[in-house]
Amino acid sequence: MADLSVSVAGVRFENPLIAASGTFGFGREYGEFYPLGTLGGISCKGITLHRRDGNPPPRIAETPSGILNAVGLQNPGVDVFIREDLPWLKQQNTVVIANIAGNTVEEYCQMAEKLSDTDVDMIELNISCPNVKSGGVQFGTSCESVGNITSQVRAHCKKPLIVKLSPNVTDIASIAQAAEASGADAVSMINTLTGMRIDIRTRRPIIRNNTGGLSGAAVFPVAVRMVWQVANAVKIPIIGMGGITTWEDAVEMLMAGATALQIGTVLFSDPYAPVKINEGLNRFLDENGIKSVTELTGTVKPW
């Protein structure tokens, strides 16, 4: 049995697998498949200051080896999350990460302040949602705006702060550096890549929002490349995600430079994927005489 535990910004995870925000709700549903302690952590569905109903359906379309989604941050609002979901989540023996999104920098700061007074373990700054009209990714696509929002939220946030990066940028490494320089404790990456599908019979985009975020195995090589680039540019830990489907993918993402991992889309085909990935990781470590999963991080030997 190798040691699967990892530490990100001083927070210990029993294993490196974290449910990715937006695919896992607030945990209750997948808690009906297995104890949520199976996961190292849960990044909760993105929450906003006030309730949001999200986009009209259809909100999802399948694509080659992936999906497009445009849910549009449907959530009950931060106060309901704190009152009704967080107490339950904190009993599940897993790290609880609150993913926050706002229309304005002030909204992000207000939420960070509210959550700082709760038992939430970490805060993930969602400045990379491609599916909302205002806010979301508009904060995440330039070094100036990422630096600005990160430092402002940092001033209101007593919890370890993760900044979730968008891949829809020209140079993700410089964006990560801006987050690091402005006080981020970690970065998580990558959020979805903006995409589009069209129904050729109706000439209508399949997704009602016209465009959506691409996730799943299709984006995995892009994610690995970006994690590798960012690992070479920053010192803070990286939570790697984007299309991780198998335990081999998990190993690859760690080797690229990730300290912990988030998994999402694979849950839709196999709810038990986290269990299988952890088993495979453990086997790989044992077979290679590696005592701790942390020894894999950043060990790629580039040509």
Residues marked active site are found at 129
CB of 85 to other proteins, least distance (A): 13
Q: Which of 7, 12, 56, 232 binds other proteins (CB under 8 A)?
A: 56
Rounded to the nearest 10°, the torsion over CA 21, 264, 276, 279 is: -50
| First and final C-alpha spacing in the chain | 32
Q: What is the footprint of other proteins within residues 172-211 (CB under 8 A)?
A: 206
- Give yes or no for residue 29 binding other proteins (CB under 8 A): yes
- The count of residues interacting with other proteins (CB under 8 A) is 37
- Tell me the window of 50-58, 111-119, 186-194, 286-294 that interacts with other proteins (CB under 8 A): 50-58
Calculate the CA dihedral of residues 29, 220, 131, 53 and round it to 10 degrees.
0
Site for other proteins in 205-264 (CB under 8 A): 206, 216-217
Burial class (CB in 10 A: 0-12, 13-18, 19+), 155: exposed
User: In sequence order, what are the residues at sequence separation of 6 or more whose Cβ sits closer than 8 angstroms to the Cβ of residue 161?
Assistant: 9, 112, 122, 123, 125, 150, 153, 154, 183, 184, 185, 186
CB of residue 268 to other proteins, shortest distance in Å: 5
Nearer to other proteins, 191 or 259 (CB): 191
Q: How far is the CB of 129 from other proteins (least distance, A)?
A: 13
Cis bond upstream, residue 58 (ω within 30): yes
Q: Binding residues for other proteins, per CB under 8 A?
A: 22-25, 29-30, 32-34, 45, 53-63, 65-67, 69, 71, 74, 206, 216-217, 265, 267-272
